[in-house]
Chain A
Amino acid sequence: MSGSSWALRAARALMTRVPPVRRLARSLHEAFVAERVFEVDLPELTPIVARRDEAGADGPSNGSPSNGSPSNRGPGARAGRRPDMQTPPPRLNLLLPGASPRHVFGGAATALALFEALHRGEQRRILVTDERELEAVDPKRFAGWEVATLDSLQAANPARGGAPVLIPMADRSGRTLPIHANDRFMATAWWTAHHARSLARWQQQAFGLPRAHPFIYLIQDYEPGFYPWSARFALADQTYGFGDEAIAVFNTGGLRRYVGARHAAFAHEFVFEPALNAELAACLATTTPTTTPRQRRILIYGRPSVPRNAFALIVQGLRQWVAADPTASRWEIVSLGEAHPDLSLGAPPGGARPVMLGARGKVGLPEYAALMHGSAIGIGLMLSPHPSYPPLEMAAFGMRVLTNRFEGKALGGQHPNIHDLPEPTPQAIAAGLSQLVARFELSAGQGWSDPAGTFAQVRAPFDFIAPLRAAWLAEASESGPESSPESGPESSPEGGPKNSPQSSPGHAA
């Protein structure tokens, strides 16, 4: 018997007779061959465990806002409560999934803008829930901010001065976040709403508040729609039922109606409408439409990584149009929004060369404005009750725009340049495009579209800051008036010309 086969026999004997070895062998086999790992924890819902922040007065007494997984200790932090303790001034906490520059645009930028507008000199913290560490800190946006970790907060519990802090905390298992009796929370993405509610509930228990401080929930899309019907769908949907524990701020009245039709109302509800980006508005004001003749160019909002922008649907619609229209090769077709390889759309009837979809990726605002000024037609789909900006922007810049309706959303009513398709199938997109192309050829670029309209009027984005602040910072206890230091450095633009504040506890009309 050779040595190697003897070793094999010995190994086999070990594997079958010694339970730990057998287990090791089997699990290695599973890890490499028959992998069947069922991870039932949703990482974004990892609880944020709080501890009392009393400027070093108490030892750390942990408690847990039991959130999703009850793996942490139950809320047992009432022991060290000292009711006579003075309430500290409010501290504003924004819960944001990401704060590195590549995350801060669109929705996250809007959240930061609202957070800034709400600020009147209070201490501020941004709890970056889904980043372990920041890749970089935008020096313009976060001038004067410090980056802290849960550990550095924990080590000394420093009574920080006014310096606002960014706290990346994706790696929060086993760590705690100091919370005091007057911390206020503002949530953004759905899972941050679960965290904010748990923190506010923990805070109420830990400090014996008569009721939990309501948190602001900035709702910028109906987020269950980002998932198939599933656990995440269900958990996201639950957040719209948080009712009087939250103050909702909706990005557009359409979204508010959509959510309101499915859930009970929040304690307070505020709404803002999209406005044209200030830099784009400046570009629009300085260029008169006649100076740049529109070219036979189609701009599409092409973001393959964002399912609700339905990139495949746009491309299929373009292909059908190219296949049917012999003049398609006279048109330049440009995809904006995200880098992807150029794509062939096939050859038009009688043509030899394929029409290409050229991808420009994310372009700067001046280039974007110039492209919109010089293009005839745009396509931007958004499978959501939120309008999304590109169709509105392209319409404001005098392009004719194809977009989709969605469960009650109909942008066609907002601007005559917008053509909304009830069912954006490839056939419908191709047919809509053929019509617009024919109209462009007929008009020869004259009187092509209607003027910019109300969307392009520059206005203050949030005209409800005063009532929102009042609702957010209202004292939970019966003692003392609202303590909010006046004369913060930022002065928020209040009382904008448009948009009446819609703060009513009832459902949207």
Chain B
Amino acid sequence: MMRRLARGLWRSLPLALRTGLRTHPVLAGLARRVALPRGGAGSDAGAAAGAGAGGGADAESPQIEIFEATLIQGRRSPVTRPRVNLLLPTLKPEHVFGGILTALQFYLELIGDDVDARIILTDQGYRPETLPALLAGWRSVEPGDEDETQGGGRIIVPFAERGFRTLAIREHDVFVATAWWTAYVAQRVLPWQAQTYGRPMRAFIYLVQDHEPGFYPWSTRYTLAQSTYEFEGPMLGVFNTGLLRDYFDAQGYRFTRTWAFEPRLNATLATWHAGQAVFQKRRRLIVYGRPSVPRNAFELVCQGVRHWSAIDPQSAQWQISSLGEAHGPVGLHHGNQIRSCGKLTLEEYAQTLAESALGVSLMYSPHPSYPPLEMAEFGVRTITNTFANKDLSTRSPAIVALHSATPEAIGRALHELAAPWREQPVVPVARPAKSLFSGTGQTYPFADEVRGAAGLAVR
């Protein structure tokens, strides 16, 4: 209570004053104590301190269940028609973008005009109230419904609460897994299916969009996620980017056969992009700032920009915007600050890309991630990091990929890249001669190959 009150009072001070206090040699200690929530990042560090100084030996019951990996119990179905099943965590509207949207698009491409199709929601226990436009005409059913009671067709089964329930599994059901725990579950349904119908195990399709063990510290979830890449049965990998597939190859994971698709420039952005041969770049720095996504290393981005603001007084003349997620302003030196724009509309995003001179977008993962590519496509001089086999600087001269992205290195790189804007407020930058994105045409030209490899009829 007192702490919250103190923090409220603290945050009522103007940001410039707060930043001044925070960086003041004498008052900084006080500021830190007020501003930092107890048990926040500090205790996190304490846990790692002393090479594993034991945490509290309290009487709290330890967390043992990995709820999302609760197994699916199958039951026989008399229906013999083949069917492609998508295992998807959720269809909640606020989650249908990025990875989930890509999964839906790929799946719809894969099933083509199949009559029977089923989406199993592994983490959502109730029927979706609204369906994305992509799924117009799909019906929601209960997992207990007998297969075919209401005729076949395209159905959605919310199946998060499955501890004491079963799901009808046909002899010719084929599964497409997305997030690691959906693969974990599928890999334990397949042996049941093979045994129940007395046939060899079916191949399943694994849509891999990141190296998901990296979302966790070395831990139970890390191991279980990694184990899904080591499945001994037939496993068809469809990878979001060849870069990610190369990383998986280097780890020696076990996939029977793999395909990869490449990022496409969003249509709205592409239209904008095509309309301009030269971008008038002003003193604006954009950063991809998503505090809730650890692999975007938000703290590191801010520390790097803050370092730049300390070593380059000219930085005070720059507008510094954070895109991607709404958050409070971050104080910088010389009175400047990083202001969050939250999630922009595509038009606003295009406009911002077109006028911004510099960008910082970090991604600790072997996936390229879209923002640095989009920034470079719009002539934004962009700082990012390398990771294992990833080095985006080979794709565009506008990208600086730091091997060791320390705050100092990011700050120095910004200082260098800002040089052309030192003398003049607006610098024209030509549109890149060669696009960083794959061209038009089908995103998943291999959809029929995947069908064939999974033993489905090829159209």
Using CB atoms and an 8 Å cutoff, list the residues of chain A in contact with chain B.
Answer: 20, 23-24, 26-32, 36-44, 46, 49, 62, 66, 68-74, 96-98, 102-108, 110-111, 130, 171-175, 188-189, 191, 220-221, 223, 225-235, 238, 241, 303-308, 310-313, 315-316, 338-341, 343, 361-362, 383-384, 404, 422-425
Q: Which residues of A contact B52 (CB under 8 A)?
A: 106-107, 306
Closest to A428 in B: B227
Is there an interface contact between B223 and A230, defined as CB atoms closer than 8 Å?
no
Asked if B408 and A43 make an inter-chain contact with CB atoms under 8 angstroms apart, the answer reads no
The answer to whether A108 touches B53, judged by C-beta atoms less than 8 angstroms apart, is yes
CB distance B50 to A107 under 8 Å? Answer: yes
A308: chain B residues at CB < 8 Å are 217-219
Contacting pair B9 A24 (CB below 8 A): yes
CB proximity of B213 to chain A, nearest CB, Å: 9
Contact B327 A36 (CB under 8 A): yes
Give the CA-CA distance A46 to B295 in the complex, in Å.
22
Q: Nearest CB to that of A22 among chain B residues?
A: B12
A188 to B48, CA, bound (A): 12
Instruction: Kindly state the separation between the CA atoms of A501 and B64 in the bound complex, as whole angstroms.
Output: 42
Whole-angstrom distance between the alpha carbons of A237 and B216 in the complex? 15
Set of chain A residues within 8 Å of B220, measured between Cβ atoms: 307, 310-313, 316
Apart from A31-B4, A174-B25: 16 A-B pairs, beta carbons within 8 A: A23-B12, A28-B12, A31-B11, A44-B45, A66-B307, A69-B23, A69-B306, A71-B306, A98-B49, A228-B217, A231-B297, A235-B300, A308-B217, A310-B223, A312-B62, A312-B66
Contact of A37 among B37, B223, B385, B404 (CB under 8 A): B37
Complex formed: what's the CA distance from A164 to B164 in Å? 64
Decide: A225 and B217 in contact? CB cutoff 8 A: yes
A234 touches B64 (CB 8 A): no
B51 and A339 form a contact (CB under 8 A): no
Min CB distance A194 to B, Å, is: 9
B442 lies within 8 A of chain A by Cβ: no
Please state if B25 and A72 are interface contacts (CB–CB under 8 Å): yes
Instruction: Tell me which of B46, B226, B407 contacts A70 (CB under 8 A).
Output: B407
Assembled-state Cα–Cα distance A404/B220 (Å): 12
Bound: A458/B72 CA distance, A: 51
CB contacts (< 8 Å) of A227 on chain B: these are 217, 294
Contacts of B364 in A (CB 8 A): 229-230, 233-234
- Complex CA gap A234/B304 in Å reads 13
Bound Cα distance from A311 to B40, whole angstroms? 23
- Tell me the nearest residue of chain A to B331, going by C-beta: A40
Select one of B7, B230, B310, B311 contacting A31, CB under 8 A. Answer: B7
CB contacts (< 8 Å) of B53 on chain A: these are: 97-98, 102-103, 105, 108
Chain B 6-30 interface mask (CB, 8 Å, partner A; 1/0): 0111111010000000111111110
Question: Measured between alpha carbons, how far is A341 from B328 in the docked complex, in Å?
Answer: 40
Given contacts A107-B50, A307-B219, contact A231 B328 (CB under 8 A): no
A108, B51: Cβ atoms closer than 8 Å: yes
A-B contact pairs, 22 of them (CB 8 A): A20-B12, A32-B8, A37-B11, A37-B328, A39-B40, A70-B310, A70-B411, A71-B310, A74-B310, A98-B49, A98-B50, A102-B53, A106-B51, A130-B45, A173-B25, A189-B50, A223-B48, A225-B218, A233-B294, A305-B55, A307-B220, A343-B61
Query: Does chain A have a CB within 8 A of B222?
Result: yes
Question: CA–CA, A307 to B24, complex, Å?
Answer: 37
Chain B, range 79-110, C-beta contacts under 8 Å to A? none
Contact B404 A241 (CB under 8 A): yes
A27 / chain B contacts, CB cutoff of 8 Å = 8-12
Closest beta carbon of chain B to A243's beta carbon, Å: 10
Distance in angstroms from B24 CB to nearest chain A CB is 7
Q: Contacts A235-B406, A310-B220 hold; do A343 and B41 have CB atoms under 8 A apart?
A: no
A130 pairs with B49, CB closer than 8 A: yes
C-alpha spacing A388/B340, complex, angstroms: 44
Task: Assess the A228–B45 pair: CB atoms within 8 A.
Answer: no
Are A304 and B219 also in contact (CB < 8 A) when A37-B7, A174-B24 are?
no
When distances are taken between beta carbons in the complex, the residues of chain A under 8 Å from B303 are: 40-42, 68-69, 231
Q: Which residue of B lies closest to A316 (CB)?
A: B64
Report if A39-B41 is in contact (Cβ < 8 Å); known contacts: A23-B12, A104-B50.
yes
Q: Measured between alpha carbons, how far is A228 from B298 in the docked complex, in Å?
A: 13
**A39 and B36 within 8 A (CB):** yes
Q: Complex formed: what's the CA distance from A220 to B49 in Å?
A: 12
Mark B residues whose CB is within 8 Å of A.
4-5, 7-12, 14, 22-29, 32, 35-37, 40-42, 45-66, 214-220, 222-224, 226-227, 230, 291, 294-295, 297-300, 302-303, 306-307, 310-311, 326-328, 330, 333, 362, 364-365, 385, 403-408, 411
Partner of B328 from the list A38, A49, A339, A361 (CB cut-off 8 Å) is A38
Q: How far is the CA of A42 from the CA of B29 in the complex (A)?
A: 14
Closest to B388 in A: A262
Q: Among the listed A32, A46, A189, A362, which residue makes an inter-chain contact with B49, where contact means beta carbons less than 8 Å apart?
A: A189
Determine whether the beta carbon of B57 is less than 8 Å from that of A338.
Answer: yes
A66, A73, A362, most chain B CB atoms within 10 A: A66
Q: Which residues of B contact A235 (CB under 8 A)?
A: 300, 406
Evaluate contact between B51 and A425: CB separation under 8 angstroms. no
Residues on the A chain within 8 Å of B8, using CB: 24, 27-32
Q: How far apart sit A316 and B224, CA to CA, in the bound complex (Å)?
A: 12
Kindly identify which residue among A173, A228, A310, A340 contacts B32, using a CB–CB cutoff of 8 Å.
A173
Out of A28, A29, A189, A315, name the residue touching B48 (CB < 8 Å).
A189
Q: Once the chains bind, are A36 and B4 in contact (CB under 8 Å)? A: no
Residues of B within 8 A of A316 (CB): 64, 66, 220
**How close is B387's CB to chain A, nearest CB, in angstroms?**
8
How near does chain A come to B6, taking the closest CB pair, in angstroms? Answer: 9
- Complex interface: chain A residues within 8 A of B49 (CB): 44, 97-98, 103, 130, 189
Whole-angstrom distance from the CB of B286 to the nearest CB of chain A? 17
B295 near A229 with CB under 8 A, answer yes
Which A residues are in CB contact (< 8 Å) with B362?
234
Residues of A within 8 Å of B36, CB to CB, are: 39, 43
Question: What is the distance, in angstroms, from A193's C-beta to the closest C-beta of chain B?
Answer: 12
Interchain CA distance A226-B219 in the complex, whole Å: 9
**Bound CA–CA A71/B22 (angstroms):** 8
Closest A residue by C-beta to B215: A228
Q: Which residues of B contact A404 (CB under 8 A)?
A: 223
Contacts of B219 in A (CB 8 A): 307-308, 310, 383
Cβ contacts under 8 Å, A306 to chain B: 52, 54-55
Instruction: Output the residue of A107, A111, A229, A308 with the most chain B CB within 10 A.
Output: A229
Nearest chain A CB to B403 CB, angstrom units: 8
Minimum CB–CB distance for B46 against chain A, Å: 6
Known: A36-B328, A307-B220, A308-B218. A102 touches B62 (CB 8 A): no
The interface residues of chain A lying within 8 Å CB-to-CB of B56 are 305
Asked whether, in the complex, the Cβ of B224 is within 8 Å of the Cβ of A383, the reply is no
Tell which of A27, A40, A46, A225 has the most Cβ of chain B within 10 Å. Answer: A40
Measured in the bound complex, the distance between the Cα atoms of B66 and A74 in whole Å is 48
> Which interface residue of B49, B50, B63 has the most chain A CB atoms within 10 A?
B50
B341 CB, nearest partner CB in chain A, Å: 14
**B177 CB to closest chain A CB, in angstroms?**
16
Closest chain-A Cβ to B18's Cβ sits at a distance in Å of 10
Query: A238: which B residues are within 8 A, CB to CB?
Result: 404-406
| Bound form: Cα–Cα A134–B23 in Å | 26
Known: A305-B47, A310-B220. A340 touches B404 (CB 8 A): no
A307 touches B307 (CB 8 A): no
Q: Nearest Cβ in chain B — how far from A307, in angstroms?
A: 3
The answer to whether A303 and B50 touch across the interface, beta carbons within 8 angstroms, is no
Q: How many angstroms from the CA of A227 to the CA of B294 in the assembled complex?
A: 9
Given contacts A70-B307, A425-B224, contact A312 B7 (CB under 8 A): no
Task: Tell me whether A40 and B61 are in contact (CB under 8 A).
Answer: no
User: How distant is the Cα of A226 from the Cα of B53 in the complex, in angstroms?
Assistant: 13
Interchain nearest-CB distance for A322 vs B (Å): 14
On chain B, the residues within 8 Å of A38 by CB distance are 291, 298, 327-328, 330
Expressed in whole angstroms, the minimum distance between the Cβ of B35 and any Cβ of chain A is 7
Q: Are B223 and A313 in contact (CB-based, < 8 A)?
A: yes
Counting chain B CB atoms within 10 Å of each CB, which of A70, A72, A171, A191 scores highest?
A: A70
Please give, as numbers and ranges, the residues of chain B lying within 8 Å of A313 by CB-CB distance. 220, 223-224
